[in-house]
Amino acid sequence: MRSAARSVIFLRAGRQRLPVRRRLQGVHHPPTPPTEWIHMAPQHHRPRPTRKRALIGGLGAAALTIGAITAGTMLSSASASAEWPTPGDDKPVSSTQKVSGVVDGKMQRYIGEGELGDGGQDEGQPAMFELADGATLKNVVIGSPAADGIHCEGSCTLQNVWWEDVGEDAATFLGGANAKYTIEGGGARKADDKVFQHNGGGTLTIRDFAVQDFGKLYRSCGNCSEQQKRAVVVDGVEVTAPGTSLVGVNENFGDTAKLSNITIIGDSGKKIDPCVRFKGNDTGAEPEETGSGPDGKTCIYKESDISYK
C-alpha cells in the first residue's frame, strides 16, 4: 500500500510489561475466493485475547522478549532483544485467506505463492489474510513472500503474529471511525518501508511487540483519497535498529499517537524518530513533514517513555 512519506516493529509488559524486543491514495481489495480452512462461525462479541505469560528473569520494563507460543500459551525469556519463535510446518498460500471468528494458526509458517508470491514492494498486492470485522488471528508466522500481509476490514485482533520478512506492508487497517484494532505480542522485521498502514479510521493499539530492521513501525495514511482522524497507542515495544521512525501521524487531521515503555536497541545516535508529524492530504501528493518529538497534542509521550540500550 502506498504511504505518505517514505521512511520505513516489538513487545510490552501489560499488567507487568513485557517490552520486546504502514502510502496510498486508495486501497485495493482484490476479490479473492474463500479458503478451505479459515472460515469460522461468526462471533457475537470481540473478546480480548487472554495473555498467559511466564516471565523468566527479572528485567524491569526494559528488554524482555517473547520466546515461543504454542496453543495460546506464551513463554517469554529476558534478554537484550526479542527471540523469534521456531515455526512449525510451512503452509503455502496461493490466494487470500478469509478469516472470521477466531483462527489459531498453531505457529505454522504461511508462505505466499502464485499471485501472493512476488515478494516485492509493489502497490496493490493482495493480502495473505483478510479479517472480517471482529475477527482474531493468532499464533501465526508469516514467511516470505508475504504479499500485502494482513488486511483488517473492521475491528480485529492480531495475537502473537510474527512477520519474518515484511512484504508490501505487514498489516493494513481499513475499518470505520469507531474501529478498534489490537496487536498483542509478536514481531516484524525486514520492512523496507512501513510495518503497519492505517488507511481507515479508529484506534490501533500495539502492545508487547518487537520490530527490527524497518522503515516505519506505523503510518497514518498521509495521502489517502478519503481522510479521517486516526489514533495509535504504542506500549511496550522493543525496537532494534536500523529504522527511521516509530510512528507518523497527520496533525492537520487530528491524529494522535501515545507512546510508552519503548525500548530502542542499537541506536546510540538516536536516529530513529519516535514520532513524526505530517500535514496530510487527500490528493495523493507526498505529505509535508511538519515536526517531530513530543508536543502534548499529536505526539503524546515524555522523553522518559523512551529508553535506549
Q: Above pLDDT 70, what percent of the chain?
A: 72
Q: Note whether 133 and 154 are within 8 A (CB).
A: yes
CA neighbor of 111 nearest in space, from 152, 143, 133: 143
Beta bridge partners of 156: 135, 181
Q: Note whether 66 and 54 are within 8 A (CB).
A: no
Q: What is the mean pLDDT of the chain?
A: 80
User: Which pLDDT does position 136 carry in this prediction?
Assistant: 98
pLDDT tens, residue by residue, 64-103 = 333 333 333 333 332 346 789 999 999 999 999 999 999 9
5-27 burial code (b ≥16 CB/10 A, e <16): bebbbbbbbeeebbbbbbbbbbb
Q: Is 51 helix (H, G, I), strand (E, B) or coil?
A: coil
Q: Note whether 19 and 237 are within 8 A (CB).
A: yes
Domain positions in the chain are 53-279
List phi, psi (to 5°) of 253.
-100, 5
222: left (phi over 0), alpha (psi -120 to 50) or beta: alpha
User: Which pLDDT does position 115 carry in this prediction?
Assistant: 84
Lowest mean pLDDT among 5-9, 90-94, 152-156, 262-266: 5-9
pLDDT tens, residue by residue, 33-54 = 333 333 433 333 334 343 333 3
Lowest mean pLDDT among 110-119, 162-171, 189-198: 110-119
User: Which pLDDT does position 107 carry in this prediction?
Assistant: 97
153-176 burial code (b ≥16 CB/10 A, e <16): bbbbbbbbbbbbbbbbbbbbbbbe
pLDDT tens, residue by residue, 204-248 = 999 999 999 999 999 999 999 999 999 999 999 999 999 999 999
Judged against a pLDDT cut of 50, whether residue 284 lies above it is answered with: yes
Residue 13: band (very low, low, confident or very high) from pLDDT cuts 50, 70, 90: very low
CATH pick for 53-279 out of 3.50.50.60, 1.10.10.10, 2.160.20.10, 3.20.20.220: 2.160.20.10
